[in-house]
Amino acid sequence: MKERLQQADSAVLQERYGLALTRIGQIPEEHFGDSAFERYFKSVAEFFLLLDSERGFLEDGGRQKASLEELKQHNHKLYEDVIPDNYGKSYANPAFAVKELGEELGALCAFLYRRFRRGIGLVYEQDLEQLVVLMELFVQVYAAFTYQWEEDGSLPGRESIRQINYWSVCDYAEEAALRSVKARFDTKDCLGMKIIRESDLEDLRYLYAYGEYVGENELETARFLNALDEETIAAMADTYTEGFRMGYEVAGKDLSKKSIVDLVYRLGFERMMRRAAENFEKMGLKCAASRDFGFSGGDVNRQYDYDHDDDHAFYLDKNFITRQLEATRCAFEQYRQEAAQYAGPAVVETFGRADFDPVNKPEAVKLSDEQNKLWVEYRSQSSLLTQEYISRKESSFTIIAFPVPEIGPVFEELFRETIRINTLDYMLYREVQQKLIDALDQADYCLVRGMGKNRTDLKVNLHKLSDPSRETIFENCVADVNIPVGEVFTSPVLKGTDGVLHVTRVFLEGLEFRDLSLTFRDGMISDYNCGNFAEQTENKRFVRDNVLFRHDSLPLGEFAIGTNTTAYVAAKRLKVESKLPILIAEKMGPHFAVGDTCYSREEDVKVYNPDGKEIVARENERSALRREKPMEAYFNCHTDITIPYDELGELTAVRKDGSVIPIIREGRFVLPGTEPLNEAFN
């Protein structure tokens, strides 16, 4: 009976697909009166016809038969209108869409086109149902234009077209949430694991099985990994998976209760991922790797992504939030058992892409002030909901990073240097870092001041110990969840934490910030700015959107001292300091995280350093609100900002009686027992 129902559903879906495709095929030859919008609809229709052609190509086994060059051409064709060279005349570009289609409907049409482009992934996932939803949405939007023109020779209003999309999003919220939640736990049918397990990884044609954009970074990374010996691949994968295991061990969590782990990686790292999957399976963990939570392709155009960062402005309201949260809860209920067995994500980040200086386009839609508040509220409620099913107290993660070829001629040397940095002697660092912690545990507060062009002048208030023989303030962080080794960190006391944090240049989430400054008053950001744009309003909005994540303020959630001088010196020698990810950069000097603490949602889990002392600085005044006012306790962000050693004038621990313990002076460690950290400088 169930099989017959599935066959009937499939037949209905095929019929819907055929009807939508037939209608779309007629659009390029039709004329309803407005030539500008006729060109838009013709362009989008031709894109859907291209998707149908690609679907047929895949179903006929074309990917297995085609040469590498032919597959490159197929991939390029799917993405060609949004690559930088063509983006200036793409309807996905809000500036071009507004110029061609007008202010009333231009940005909305650009948003819709971006949504339609999701069809590429759906074709490769063989998700016909979601593809049909997009095609029917396009047909409905086109019908609204032709109907209105036939009625009175005018175009439909912006609100009527927005409503069509709005109800499309809301009506399919349950199905979308179910697919999204399932993707996190799907170890059987996920596309990424099929490719990792079954592909001939020496044949680079496998990269085109994802449907993601494949650029030179992905091709050259795969070629480079294929040239590495098995011992090196094993070292990379073993460091990564052992870091995940140690995250459980150090936190006293039971990994044996878990059975699912997400592999999060960029295309090109499949050889490492295959070895990692084998390691995880030995731990009793099955791997998932989906488009939503696992693999990602190359950056086809970062300006394109930046232009559409606020696209949810077209449908974000209280009704949407309510429906989305209800749909997500229902989906988690259906996958409650899998959620309980979910161990967490194991992430491979990449770094070394070309500098990106975003352009703020007035045509790109932005969230209103009311929507900003709703978005912050939604993210908070969504995070709390996820916590109900995937508890941070029982799960963990790990992150490791490697460069991509785009970084330039130093790629191969830097890659091998990164492997060395990721496998440094953690016992040596553990012992030296304990010297730092022993000194810092005596402090009432710390003073941090920059030198040269760095204007940092910050007082960081610290937790006070009741029993120094059993308690400690700072965690001794070696190489577990955050690889590589090299930091001690704490959650500072907010009240009494005051001053300015400044960096001359830093990259956060792929965005460059120049002359970034944050002013703190009682541990909360009271002012902020940067020097990216000529207009101060643009600078402030850039910081608010991408550092404060639209919050009015954020607390100083973490104060840390990075100790990995080896990484710092290697970066200076290879001239790649500005390219390093925060994962490595945070180990290259004192760093400060704005947002939640490192112990966010795990404050009640006791954590101990290797010396047996309990780390008691696990919360601050905001996270302490978690029981009575959970919506005010967390901000759902944590952004690390590092002062590099060569911009650091002093870091001094100050005791209650006013006496001082110098830790770092003019970029060098001066605390007795930390001399090994200066050896790399020599």
User: What is the mean pLDDT of the segment spanning 549-567?
Assistant: 94
Query: HSE (CB half, 13 Å, CA atoms) of 352?
Result: 24
Give the C-alpha separation, 296 to 212, whole Å.
Answer: 7
Q: What is the DSSP string of 216-242?
A: HHHHHHHHHHHHS-HHHHHHHHHHHHH
DSSP-assigned beta bridge partners for residue 561: 488, 590
Nearest to 184 by CA among 118, 262, 126: 262
Is residue 459 over pLDDT 50? yes
How far apart CA 637 and CA 544 sit, in angstroms, is 13
Q: How far is it, in rounded angstroms, from Cα 105 to Cα 148?
A: 14
Amino acid found at 317? D
For the chain, what's the residue count? 682
The pLDDT of residue 86: 97
Give the percent of the chain with pLDDT over 90: 84
- Residue 598 in this model has a pLDDT that exceeds 80: yes
| Secondary structure (H, E, C), 371-390 | HHHHHHHHHHHHHHHHHHHC
Residue type, 215: G
What is the pLDDT of the chain when averaged over all its residues?
94
pLDDT digits (tens, 9 = 90+) for 377-425: 999 899 889 999 999 889 999 999 999 999 999 999 999 999 999 888 8
**pLDDT tens by residue, 165-185:** 999 988 888 999 999 999 999
**Residue 449 contacts residue 615 (beta carbons within 8 Å):** no
Q: Quick one: how far is CA 320 from the chain centroid?
A: 23
Measured from the Cβ of residue 153, the count of other Cβ atoms closer than 10 Å reads 10
Q: What per-residue string of b and e applies to 593-624 under the rule 16 or more CB within 10 Å gives b? A: bbbbbbbbbbbeeebbbeeebebbbbbbebbe
The answer to whether residue 191 scores a pLDDT higher than 90 is: yes
Identify the DSSP state of 630. Answer: H
Cβ atoms of 463 and 411 within 8 Å: the answer is no
CATH fold of 176-352+361-403: Thermophilic metalloprotease-like (3.40.1830)
User: CA nearest 581: which of 397, 355, 402?
Assistant: 402
Four-CA torsion 97, 296, 481, 261, nearest 10 degrees: 120
For 338-366, what is the mean pLDDT? Answer: 94
pLDDT of residue 2: 46
User: Which pLDDT belongs to residue 1?
Assistant: 45
Nearest of 295, 483, 509, 276 to residue 399 by alpha carbon: 483
Strands 648-654 and 660-665: antiparallel
Q: How far apart are CA 668 and CA 315, in angstroms?
A: 52
Q: For residue 6, what pLDDT band results from cuts at 50, 70 and 90?
A: low
pLDDT confidence bin for 479, thresholds 50/70/90: low
> Cβ distance 589 to 644 under 8 Å?
yes
Parallel/antiparallel/unpaired status of strands 445-450 and 648-654: antiparallel
Report which of 585, 518, 530 is spatially closest to residue 556, judged by C-alpha positions.
518
What is the identity of the amino acid at 633?
A
Give the integer Cα–Cα distance in Å for 48 and 35: 20
pLDDT band at 560 (very low <50, low <70, confident <90, very high): very high
The pLDDT-based confidence of 279 (bands split at 50, 70, 90) is: very high
Q: Which of 263, 386, 277, 231 is nearest to 324 (CA)?
A: 386
Among 522, 510, 534, 486, which residue's Cα sits nearest to residue 582?
A: 510
Phi/psi at 241 (nearest 5 deg)?
A: -75, -35
Closest CA to 480 of 438, 426, 429: 426
Categorize the per-residue pLDDT at 509 as very low, low, confident or very high, splitting at 50, 70 and 90.
confident
Cβ partners under 8 Å of residue 286, min gap 6: 187, 259, 260, 261, 280
SS3 content of the chain, % helix, strand, coil (to 5): 50, 15, 30
Give the Cα separation of 666 and 213 in Å (integer).
45
CA separation, residue 163 to residues 141, 196, 440 (Å) = 10, 41, 58
591: which DSSP letter?
E
Model confidence at 7, pLDDT cuts 50, 70, 90, reads: low
Show the tokens assigned to 386: 């996820």
Mapping DSSP onto H, E and C, the string for 4-73 reads: HHHHHHHHHHHHHHHHHHHHHHHHHHCCCCCHHHHHHHHHHHHHHHHHHHHHHHHHCCHHHHCCHHHHHH
Pairing of strands 614-615, 487-490: unpaired
pLDDT computed for residue 398 by the predictor:
94
Amino acid 29 reads: E
Rounded to whole angstroms, how far apart are CA atoms 42 and 46?
Answer: 6
Digit-coded pLDDT (tens) for 245-276? 988 988 889 999 999 999 999 999 999 999 99
- Segment 635-655 shows an average pLDDT of 94
| C-alpha to C-alpha distance for 421 and 568, rounded to whole angstroms | 10
Region 463-477: mean pLDDT is 95
Which phi and psi angles does 152 have, rounded to 5°? -145, 15
Q: Give the DSSP letter of residue 269.
A: -
By C-alpha distance, which of 66, 114, 579 is closest to 351? 579
What gap in Å lies between CA 235 and CA 423, rounded to an integer? Answer: 8
pLDDT, greater one: 464 or 423: 464
Instruction: Give residue 3's pLDDT band: very low, low, confident or very high (50, 70, 90).
Output: low
Distance from C-alpha of 451 to C-alpha of 287, rounded to nearest angstrom: 47
* Count of other CB atoms within 10 angstroms of residue 20: 22
What is the rounded CA–CA span in Å between residue 611 and residue 441? 13
Q: Within 13 Å and on the Cβ side, how many CA atoms surround 88?
A: 1
Where do the structural domains in the chain lie, given as residue ranges?
Answer: 1-171, 176-352+361-403, 424-681
pLDDT digits (tens, 9 = 90+) for 74-113: 999 999 999 999 999 999 999 999 999 999 999 999 999 9
> Among all chains, which residue has been given the structure tokens 């194991």?
346
Q: CB under 8 Å, gap of 24 or more: what pairs does 68-76 form?
A: 68/204, 68/205, 71/205, 71/208, 72/208, 72/214, 74/208, 75/208, 75/213, 75/214
Distance CA 345, CA 584 (A): 19
Q: Report the pLDDT value the prediction gives residue 252, as an integer from 0 to 100.
A: 85
